[in-house]
Amino acid sequence: MDSIDTAPRTTANATRTRIRVVSVVLTVTAILTVPGGLLWPETSTGNETYAYGDIEPIRQLWWGLLLGLAVVASLTVTAQAVVTLVLVRHRGSMWATWGAGLMWVGIAVQSVGAAFLAGAYYFPTSPDVPHADGVAVFHAIAEDQLHLFGALAIGALIVMVGTVLQAVGLLRSRTVPRWIPAATLFTLITFVVPGGGVAGLITSLPMAAAAIGLAAHAWRRA
């Protein structure tokens, strides 16, 4: 009889712990994404592609930066989608559910694109690759931006649509202050404002604040 009585309590404690773990992950990764744009290297080509001389001196940093940002972004987007599902359980739940699904798919595609981008510039700058061959690869890359940035752009677009849907769900549910879903919509600006440098830092701050706000409300809800 005692085991039956304690079962619901044990389940509730486990659920509470899981929600709080996700909330902590969201908070930490949201903070880590803020300085990411400042580390992004500048390009000397005048467009989104890089020249051989831009990457060759920092090839190890480039690889680590892309890998780190992909991992952090995957955790942040996934955790934010889960936390929003926890908060939006009734009114607006359909919006939040569809948004979460799109965010999960989008960040998977975006992570694949980040891995491809990292390798596309990292391997041609290897000391084992002749300089002329590496430069030729960079020229070929610059002429085929669709394949270079395609997965990244498509994944980011899907994540953006999912974030908008979840913002609508949060607004309809009224479970958090309105500034939180409004701040998540700064993801729309990232398609216009470059993600690197000071501009990237400015656009990332509202999104990080929104993620931390969601995490705090989910922690309290748990």
Residue pLDDT, tens place only, 10-29: 767 888 889 999 999 999 99
> What pLDDT sits at residue 211?
94
> What pLDDT sits at residue 103?
96
Q: CA separation (Å) from 83 to 61, 170, 201?
A: 32, 11, 24
Say whether 217 sits in a helix, a strand or coil: helix
> What pLDDT sits at residue 195?
61
Q: What are phi and psi of 11, to 5 degrees?
A: -65, -45
Condensed to tens digits (0 to 9), the pLDDT of residues 84-113 reads: 999 998 899 999 999 999 999 999 999 999
> What pLDDT sits at residue 44?
80
Q: What is the Cα–Cα distance from 138 to 41, expressed in whole angstroms? A: 16
> What pLDDT sits at residue 4?
52
> What pLDDT sits at residue 47?
76
The residues of the chain scoring below 70 in pLDDT are 1-8, 11, 192-200
Q: For 177, which DSSP code?
A: -
What is the pTM assigned to this prediction? Answer: 0.87
